[in-house]
Amino acid sequence: MNIKKAILFFIFSIWGLTSNGQIIGPNLVQNSSFENYDACPLVTSELYKAKYWWGFSADYYNSCSTLMGVPTNFSGFQYANTGVAYAGFFLYWHHFLNPSNNTYIESAKNILKDSLIKDKRYCVRYFISLGEYTVDYAIANNSIIIYDSIGALFSVNQVQDDTNPIICDTCAKYTKSIVGIDTVNWFKISGSIIAKGGEKYLTIGKFDIMNWLPNISCKFYVYVDDVSVCECAYHINLGEDTKFCQDESMLLNATLPNATYLWQDGSTNATYEVKQPGTYWVRAYVAEYDITTSDTIVITAEDEKICNPPLIIPNFITPNGDNINDNFQIGNADKYDISLQIYNRWGTLIYQAAHYTNDYNCKGCADGVYYYLLTAKSLRSGKSKDYKGSLTVMN
């Protein structure tokens, strides 16, 4: 590895450690995969039998049951995403011939282990699958399947069961599209919220007003499994404003898990190589949790005397062993890689070093004038400069 590459690696390692994206807290959802139960479900509307879960007419499925079994049950056929249990509910149900009595939504609710902390970000994730009941109903009623949305809502108090979409201006919530889900696979639904503080209850369901198509009946049923709510942090930090020298490069690192990037010039890589002073910014988007984060850094030109301090080359030495001016001691040599040659007055090479370390004392040399040639390569910029001159030796 040459010196300049080593410098770039060092700079990369500094700036590369500043961005972070991670789950930093435990899962706050109790009985997150529905495995623990107080009693085996026997019929529909018994989600309350799963520990810490309940919901308006929501269902509980477990392999211990027959009608509400796993994988075969009254709503279809589906193995659990993990384990042998999951929940299920009608995300929305509408019958156009009698909308006043047959339009409602269901939801699954959980009491969290701890209340959410104000202004903290929490990442939410769960898996859903389309119940075959949805498809069977559409076929039987010569209808269509209306895909809409599902979300997660957090509230200080328990949200009351209602047959209409839940309106809660004081709640933290998000909504995600359910277009594309099917009866075979489990689909990950994820997002993030900023806590308003004190939220203790989680509700999974539909929170947007449904615009029903005329003369259309619809029953949309979903299974839900593996729910998690964890404190998370996704931040880009390009570092403090800084300076660098001419001909140097600096690698800015904005890497976050599964993110896309946009820099000030339109580039989209996770890293950006800076070659000249300026203002640099980046914006990263983490689609999984719908998080956008950004940062800016200002980089200015460093003073040349700091980048390349002048060499201070002596013109005489007194190698008499008194430890005073014995060596050919070059000032600021530690900032350079120096190659050195010493010649006598007849042009004969008497000393050379590829990487000089200020240790030459011309021991055994007669008094007189000698000549040096040296090349100094800056350890910071990699720039090289040649020097030549005379050196008087006085024993």
> What SS3 class is residue 341?
strand
Full residue range of the structural domain in which residue 311 is found: 305-393
Residues 189-235 pLDDT 10s: 999 999 999 999 999 999 888 777 777 888 999 999 999 999 999 99
What is the reported pLDDT for 102? 66
Question: What are the contacts of 168-173 at 24+ separation with CB within 8 A?
Answer: 168/207, 170/196, 171/196, 171/199, 172/116, 172/196, 172/199, 173/207
What is the reported pLDDT for 209? 80
- Residue 30, C-beta contacts closer than 8 angstroms, at least 6 positions apart: 51, 52, 110, 111, 112, 113
Q: Which range (102-106, 107-111, 383-387) has the least confidence?
A: 102-106
Adjacent-strand bridge partners of 121:
194
Residues 128-184 pLDDT 10s: 999 999 999 999 888 888 899 999 999 999 887 766 667 787 899 999 999 999 999
For residue 4, pLDDT over 50 is answered with: no
Residue 216: CATH number of its domain: 2.60.120.260
> Does 190 lie in the same domain as 68?
yes
Amino acid at 41: P
> Does 226 lie in the same domain as 123?
yes
Adjacent-strand bridge partners of 73:
76
For the chain, what percent of residues have pLDDT higher than 70?
A: 92
Q: Domain boundary residue among 302, 327, 348?
A: 302
Q: Calculate mean pLDDT across residues 83-92.
A: 96
Token code pair at residue 298: 């200002």
Pairing of strands 242-244, 316-317: unpaired
Q: Calculate mean pLDDT across residues 53-63.
A: 95
Residues 230-250 pLDDT 10s: 999 999 999 999 988 877 788
What is the reported pLDDT for 168? 81
Count of structural domains within the chain:
3
Residue 366: CATH number of its domain: 2.60.40
For residue 9, pLDDT over 70 is answered with: no
Q: Domain boundary residue among 218, 234, 250?
A: 234
What is the reported pLDDT for 19? 58
Cα–Cα distance for residue pair 224/60, rounded to 1 Å: 10
> What SS3 class is residue 165?
coil
CA atoms in the 13 A half-sphere facing the CB of 13: 5
3-state SS, 302-353, equals CCHHHHCCCCECCCEECCCCCCCCCCCCCECHHHEEEEEEEECCCCCEEEEE
Cα–Cα distance for residue pair 206/204, rounded to 1 Å: 7
> Does 77 lie in the same domain as 52?
yes
> Does 121 lie in the same domain as 74?
yes
What is the reported pLDDT for 15? 41
Cα–Cα distance for residue pair 57/162, rounded to 1 Å: 11
> Does 166 lie in the same domain as 62?
yes
Q: Calculate mean pLDDT across residues 80-91.
A: 97
Q: Which pTM was predicted?
A: 0.75
Q: Domain boundary residue among 248, 274, 302?
A: 302
